[in-house]
C-alpha cells in the first residue's frame, strides 16, 4: 500500500515510510567507506591518510546539495500541504537547475585551488600528492554529487522513497565493483579509487534527472518550466542552512582533528580517526536517514495545520531515536575489534590505537541522534534559524572547544573524548529549544 504524506502515522507506518531513507543513507555511507577499505589495504597507509585528510574539504564543496535538498524539501512539502502542487513543482525545478549551475562553478574553483588548500592544511610530500590526485578526480563529478544529495531528500517528498533507495543501490554497487576493479585488479591506486567514486556519484545524480524530467511520472514532483524566484530560493537556503552549517562545520572540525592528531600521533592518528569517521558515517546515517524520511511528513502536517498529528510524530520519533541509540552503542562495542581489523589489521600499533579510540568514541552514538533529529525537525517546520543554531553549536562550537581543550588535559584520549562531550552538550541544547518552541509550533 502506498503511504501518503497526509496519512496518520503510527510507529509502524512511520518506520515503514522512513526505512528506505534510512537504508539509502546507510548504503551511501557504506559505499563511501569502500574507497577507504581498498586504499588502505591495497595502496597503503599514507595514501589512506591522504584520502581522510582531504575528504573534509571535498565534503564542504558538496554541501550545496545538502542545503538545497533539505531546505527545499521542507519548503516544497509545506507548499504541497497547502494545496499548491503547481507552485511546488516550480520551486523544485528551480532548485534542481540552480544546483547544476552552482555545482559546476564550485567544481572548477575546487580543482584550481586543491593543491594550495591541501598544503595550507599541512599535507606534505607524498601525502600532498595523494590529496591532489584524489581530490581533483572526485571534483569532476561534483555537480552530480550535489544532485545526488538533493534528490535523496526530494524522492521522499515525492512519496517515492523506495525509488530513491533503488538508485542509491545502483550507484553504490557500481562504486564497489569499480573500486575492486580499478584498485585491486588493475593497480591504479588513488586515481582508481577516485574514478570509481566519481562514476558512481554521476549515476546517482543523473538517473533521477531522467525520472523527474518525465511530466507524467507517478510521483508528486516533476521538472517543469520555472522562473527565478529569489524569495523561494532564499527560503530554501535559509531552511537548509542548518544542514549546510552542520556539514561545513563537521568538515572544518575534521580538518582541526587531523591537525591535532598529526601533532599528537602523526600519520597513525589521522588514519585511526579516518576509521572512526567511516564507522560514524554509517551509524549516524541511520539518524540522518530517519530525519530525511520524516521531514516531509512533518512539513506537510505543519502546512496543513494538523497539530495533533505533528505532536504525535515528535513523541514517536523520540522513542524510535532512543531505541536506535542504545542499539548502536551495543553494536559498536561488539564490533570494535573486527571493524578496526578490516581497515588497519596489517599494522599492530595502528590497530591498537584505533581500537582504543573507538571504544571511547562509541559513547557519542548514545546522543548524536537526538540532536540530528531535532535539527531536522526544525528544518521541516521551516524554522531554519533554530535548526542552524543547533547544528552550528553541535558541529562547530562545542567540538571546536572540546578538541582544543581536552587534549591538553588528557593527551590523545582527549581527542576521542571531545566528540562525546560535544554530543552531550548538543542534546541539552536541543531539549531546551524543543521546550521553548512547543507553543509556537503546537507540537
In a 3-state reduction of DSSP, which class is residue 402?
Answer: helix
Coil vs helix vs strand at 149 = helix
Which position has the higher pLDDT, 117 or 254?
117
* pLDDT for 112: 92
Task: Cell numbers for 440, please give them.
Answer: 509556537
Task: Decide: helix, strand or coil at residue 122.
Answer: coil
Q: What is the pLDDT of residue 1?
A: 55
Whether the predicted pLDDT of 31 surpasses 70: no
pLDDT value, residue 156: 82
171's CB contacts (< 8 A; 6+ apart) are: 28, 31, 148, 200, 201, 203, 204, 207
Reported as a single tens digit per residue, the pLDDT across 407-437 is 888 888 888 888 899 999 999 999 999 999 9
Q: CA separation (Å) from 197 to 147, 181, 284? A: 15, 12, 21
Does the pTM surpass 0.85? The reply is: no
pLDDT attached to residue 32: 62
Name residues whose C-beta falls within 8 Å of residue 249's C-beta, 6 or more positions apart in sequence: 391, 392, 394, 395, 396, 399
Rg (CA), the chain: 21
Q: pLDDT by residue (tens digit) across 305-346?
A: 888 889 999 999 999 999 999 999 998 888 878 878 877 767
Q: Name the burial class of residue 382, with classes exposed (0-12), middle (13-18) and buried (19+) by CB atoms within 10 angstroms of its CB.
A: buried
The DSSP secondary structure of 303-322, one letter per residue, reads HTT-HHHHHHHHHHHHHHHH
**Percent of the chain scored above 70 by pLDDT?**
98
Looking at residue 140, its pLDDT comes to: 94
The Cα 174–Cα 177 span in angstroms is 5
pLDDT at 136: 93
Average pLDDT, the chain: 85
Query: Which contacts qualify for 423-428: CB closer than 8 Å, 24 or more apart?
Result: 423/364, 423/366, 423/367, 423/368, 423/371, 423/394, 424/367, 425/393, 425/394, 425/398, 426/367, 426/368, 426/370, 426/371, 426/390, 426/393, 426/394, 426/398, 427/367, 427/370, 427/371
159: left (phi over 0), alpha (psi -120 to 50) or beta: left
Which tens digit of pLDDT belongs to each residue from 239-254? 777 667 777 777 777 7
Amino acid at each position: 500500500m502506498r503511504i501518503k504524506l497526509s496519512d496518520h502515522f503510527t510507529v509502524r507506518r512511520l518506520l515503514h515510510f522512513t526505512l528506505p531513507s534510512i537504508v539509502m543513507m546507510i548504503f551511501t555511507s557504506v559505499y563511501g567507506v569502500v574507497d577507504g577499505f581498498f586504499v588502505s589495504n591495497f595502496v597503503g597507509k599514507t595514501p589512506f591518510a591522504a584520502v581522510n585528510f582531504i575528504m573534509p574539504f571535498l565534503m564542504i564543496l558538496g554541501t550545496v546539495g545538502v542545503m538545497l535538498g533539505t531546505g527545499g524539501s521542507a519548503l516544497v512539502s509545506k507548499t504541497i500541504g497547502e494545496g499548491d502542487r503547481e507552485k511546488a513543482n516550480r520551486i523544485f525545478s528551480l532548485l534542481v537547475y540552480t544546483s547544476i549551475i552552482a555545482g559546476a562553478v564550485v567544481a572548477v574553483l575546487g580543482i584550481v585551488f586543491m593543491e594550495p588548500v591541501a598544503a595550507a592544511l599541512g599535507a606534505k610530500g607524498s601525502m600532498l600528492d595523494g590529496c591532489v590526485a584524489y581530490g581533483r578526480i572526485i571534483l569532476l563529478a561534483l555537480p552530480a554529487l550535489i544532485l545526488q544529495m538533493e534528490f535523496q531528500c526530494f524522492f521522499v517528498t515525492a512519496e517515492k522513497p523506495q525509488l530513491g533507495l533503488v538508485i542509491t543501490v545502483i550507484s553504490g554497487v557500481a562504486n564497489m565493483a569499480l573500486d575492486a576493479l580499478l584498485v585491486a585488479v588493475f593497480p591504479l591506486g588513488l586515481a582508481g579509487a577516485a574514478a570509481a567514486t566519481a562514476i558512481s556519484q554521476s549515476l546517482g545524480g543523473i538517473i533521477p534527472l531522467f525520472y523527474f524530467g518525465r511530466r507524467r511520472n507517478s510521483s508528486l514532483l516533476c521538472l517543469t518550466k520555472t522562473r527565478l524566484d529569489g524569495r523561494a530560493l532564499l527560503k530554501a537556503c535559509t531552511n537548509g542552512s542548518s544542514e549546510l552549517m552542520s556539514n561545513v562545520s563537521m568538515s572544518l572540525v575534521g580538518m582541526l582533528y587531523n591537525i591535532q592528531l598529526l601533532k599528537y600521533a602523526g600519520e597513525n592518528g589521522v588514519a585511526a580517526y579516518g576509521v572512526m569517521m567511516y564507522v560514524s558515517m554509517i551509524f549516524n546515517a541511520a539518524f540522518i536517514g530517519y530525519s530525511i524520511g520524516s521531514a516531509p511528513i512533518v512539513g506537510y502536517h505543519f502546512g496543513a495545520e494538523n497539530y495533533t498529528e505533528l505532536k504525535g510524530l515528535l513523541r514517536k520519533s523520540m522513542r524510535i531515536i532512543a531505541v536506535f541509540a542504545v542499539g548502536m552503542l551495543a553494536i559498536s562495542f561488539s564490533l570494535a575489534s573486527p571493524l578496526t581489523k578490516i581497515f588497519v589489521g596489517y599494522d599492530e600499533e595502528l590497530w591498537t590505537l584505533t581500537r582504543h579510540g573507538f571504544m571511547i568514541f562509541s559513547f557519542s552514538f548514545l546522543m548524536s541522534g537526538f540532536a540530528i533529529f531535532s535539527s531536522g525537525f526544525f528544518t521541516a517546520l521551516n524554522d531554519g534559524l533554530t535548526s542552524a543554531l543547533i547544528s552550528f553549536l553541535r558541529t562547530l562550537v562545542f567540538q571546536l572547544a572540546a578538541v582544543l581543550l581536552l587534549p591538553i588535559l588528557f593527551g590523545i584520549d582527549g581527542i576521542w573524548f571531545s566528540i562525546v562531550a560535544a554530543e552531550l552538550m548538543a542534546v541539552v541544547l536541543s531539549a531546551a529549544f524543543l521546550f521553548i518552541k512547543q507553543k509556537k509550533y503546537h507540537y
